[in-house]
Structure 1
Amino acid sequence: MKNLTVLIVLLIVTLSLNAQQLGINLRLDAAKSFKLDKKTKIEVSQQLQLTPEIKNINRRYDRIFDEFELFPFLREDQDDVDDDDDDDKLGGTTSSGSTSGGSTNFNNLNDDPYRIDLSWRSSSTFDFDYKIRKWLRVGQSYSLLVDNENLRHLSRTDLTLQPKMPSKKFDLQYRIAYQLGAESRKGKLRLDSDFSSRLGTDWEFKNRHIWFNNFSVNGAFDDGIWEWDRFRYDTGLEYKFSKTHSFSFGYRFQQRLDRKKNAVSHGVSLAYSLDF
């Protein structure tokens, strides 16, 4: 009961933020791992994500959180490469309505038209992982991402450092990755690439209860000049029903670091995972 209360409080606090800056993701994950030997592992995974959106009909909605995996160290994020829709300006609201003979409280009511849309994404991933040392491993992955508008291919090469910690209840990881994405949009092929750097912690503060925190930053070279793109902070709780089934609730803060796209957004995620 206490765990449910914490989740409800977190959800209420997050939903109290400006609705035009809030992304909500509902996700189902399934993964199967195969150990080829003591150092080599491959994993195949499938993800389905639903994103309900309250849209201002007269404005483009900010789809900055219409992406996979808010929590990269629970399951690898398949969408670090920027999308065009990541750059949409945050939707705002305007007050309208007036009466003659002075102002009233009704002047500040927002009567803009809205509708509720439901977008979806599916991701199929093949991941190869090789352990160089107990604390160092290298990985290569390929993902096919499909949604109700586009088709994307994503390739990633990463290096992960995971030092041994004094307690098995606490885990620390650092990962640097190079990502190359290809997207087919309106019959045209678009290529994009960037680098990502991430620091993450997992703390099993209670049996089968994990509190995770992840910090990440993305950047790329633009005409030979290095530019930071965005900063992310993820935090949340995961509950493991068993070795196979788990549920997680999380919050993300994200800020664009490009001066031309300096936007801040917030997101919440509810995910159910199956690890075979």
Structure 2
Amino acid sequence: ISFAESDLLKVAVVGRPNVGKSSLLNRLLDDQRLVVHDEPGTTRDAVSLPLLWRSQQLLLIDTAGIRKRGAGGDQREELDRMAVQRAYQAIRQCHVALLLIDSAEGLLRQDLIIASLVIEQMKSCVLVANKSDLVHERGRIALHRQIEERLPSLGYAPIVHASALHGDRVEQALELALDAARWRRERVSKRRLNEVFKRASMLRPLPFVDGVRLKIKYVTQKDTEAPTFVLYLNREAQLHPSDRRWIENTIRSQWPFTATPLRLQFVADPRKRQQPGRRSSTKKLAKRRPLRRG
């Protein structure tokens, strides 16, 4: 999916059964500021709902309505499989995922599976901790700790403690989704990007590799839907996770890329970049000291 193909922001509402996806959608669709027209979705398992939110056109991709009450055994296993498949379809279509989890129950196995799909597809994400009205502050802190420990790869996703039933912070979740969409469109100036890394590298140089200081020669951003930055290094090396975090934090310090993952690619470029108009030192020596004829 590309923004060049459509101006519509696609937001998928995903999560395991019974986390409140229907309540969240009903809360949004009942809002008088939203103009809604039902239309069949692009797949038989998902329904796309066109919305107008504060002059912003978007599509809500609905994955609600899977689990049947009282389902158990093989039927429950099949319904769980369907839920993951439907979430996968919605995540592939979307630009931003609103990933709902149950604040009272915490993270379960199926939450982790659906979250892994968001990570794998490099989608922007807002974690909506629904039913927050059922937990106290201590429970919210415990949930934050659980997310940090079990979903470290979603560290870029903000957490919104919401109650879809009462409408608490539902608008905040959608606003973050819109903000994420704006950052997915962002294209950073190559000149500005390299100025930032030049200053940052003076304060925090990369380590030595086999006796040679690892250096970032230059950085550029690819013109892709998922923000991708290519860093050209003076030699081939496997960067330590702490160095990768430093690179990502350096970018985010100037361009937050709210709720959006960054893909980092590293290319070894050991060649020395010769400045235009300058001849190599060997050529200069050859000119100054011509060989004598015997």
* TM exceeding 0.5: no
> Going by fraction, where is strand more abundant, 1 or 2?
1
Q: TM-score, normalised by structure 2?
A: 0.25
> Going by fraction, where is helix more abundant, 1 or 2?
2
Q: TM-score, normalised by structure 1?
A: 0.26
